[in-house]
Amino acid sequence: MQEPNEVVIFSQIPIIFWIFLMYIGALILQNIQHPMLIHSLIFSLIIVIHAFLYFFFRLFNNNKYWFYFLAQECILFISAFLLPKGSPVVLIGLLPVLIAQSIIILKSKIKVILFFMLSYGLYCIAITINYVASELPIFIPIFFLILLIVIFYTLSYNRQVSAKERMEFYLQQLGLAYQKVEELTLVNERQRMARDLHDTLAQGLAGLIMQLEAVNVHIKNGNISRSNEIVVSSMQQARETLKDARTVIDNLRTETLEYIDFHSAVLDEIKKFEEITGIHVEQEIKPVHSLPNLSMEYGIYIIRESLTNIMKHSQAKKVQIKIEQQGGKLYMEVSDNGIGFSTKNIGKQTGKFGLLGLQERIRLVGGTLTIESTPGKGTKLFITVPI
């Protein structure tokens, strides 16, 4: 990407080339009619200063631009009197460039008009002194013609340079925004993985540790029979934890849900639940139109996690699932006739962390989760997810 200073220098190159042409033209016109060697050398030095100021005019702040323009004006009129015969080339060629620059930099109409009147007045004075007043009707139209051409070119060129600078700025901002999105995506993906692993490995391993601690206590007390029962249970739980971990890993490897039908995916989750638990699931799934990938992913996760919580903790004999799409929202209801629990204890008791993960997932997509449960009277989950 081009640096701002490089853009400024590049935009001054045509001006410097034009100054060089006017410089050569003034020298030729003066020395053909009346050679003036010393004056030509001083004129050369002054033109170099004039060109130098074009490069570094940005060193003047907004309150000192008048000093810049007055200094440039003085340089041009001193040059006009150093080479009287070449003065028309200097004034007609370089003064319009300075006026055009004032339009861009000063911006204020009053300041530009005042500068133009000053420049035009001094131009007429210089032509009158170097030539005669009768020559003004010839030189004034030429001056205005060159002025219009230079102003048109300068404004057009300045628009191109400004457009280029804006484009580079927007590209830079776009690059920063893209980098930020990548960082946020990585953070969100890490959080998602942490939630998934917590729901499987962390809870499963915590349960195994508790069971092994119980085995240790029973062995110390000589209760070998009870220890064997707990070991068998621990082995079964370890298998389930391993199975859940593999499921999470498989889900993490899935890169897109574009070609998965939501209805079919929900039925697959229900079928898996029925095969494992032997519990029949009553379902009322109304047609759901095409969902965005994120809504589909979270919808399937919500059903899966709800069924997993029922399988692990509810001791239910009956499960019911209702899904309906209305407007821009997806409504889901999952209920069971299990042992239930007190909603005040969510997050405080073992086995309720899955509901916390569920609440967090739903919150991330701007949805809502309402839990109705009473000990001994089952549980109902009411989920709303925006599409």
Q: Are 131 and 98 in contact (CB under 8 A)?
A: no
DSSP 8-state symbol, 327: T
DSSP 8-state symbol, 333: E
Quick: pLDDT tens for 262-280: 888 899 889 888 888 888 9
Name the CATH superfamily for 259-387. Histidine kinase-like ATPase, C-terminal domain (3.30.565.10)
Quick: pLDDT tens for 179-228: 677 666 666 666 666 666 666 666 667 667 777 787 788 788 888 888 78
State yes or no: pLDDT of 256 exceeds 70: no
State yes or no: pLDDT of 62 exceeds 70: no
Tell me how far apart the alpha carbons of residues 93 and 90 are, in angstroms, rounded to a whole number.
5
Strand ranges inside the chain, DSSP E = 281-285, 319-326, 329-336, 368-373, 379-386
The predicted pLDDT at position 185 comes to 66
Quick: pLDDT tens for 300-325: 888 988 888 888 888 889 999 999 98
Domain layout of the chain by residue ranges: 4-131, 259-387
- Confidence tier at 337 by pLDDT (50, 70, 90): very high
Tell me how far apart the alpha carbons of residues 254 and 66 are, in angstroms, rounded to a whole number.
66
- Confidence tier at 258 by pLDDT (50, 70, 90): very low
Q: Are 121 and 129 in contact (CB under 8 A)?
A: no
Percent of the chain with pLDDT over 90: 8
Which region among 131-140, 212-221, 343-352 has the lowest average model confidence (pLDDT)?
A: 343-352
- Confidence tier at 11 by pLDDT (50, 70, 90): low
Tell me how far apart the alpha carbons of residues 57 and 66 are, in angstroms, rounded to a whole number.
11
- Confidence tier at 4 by pLDDT (50, 70, 90): very low
Average pLDDT, the chain: 78
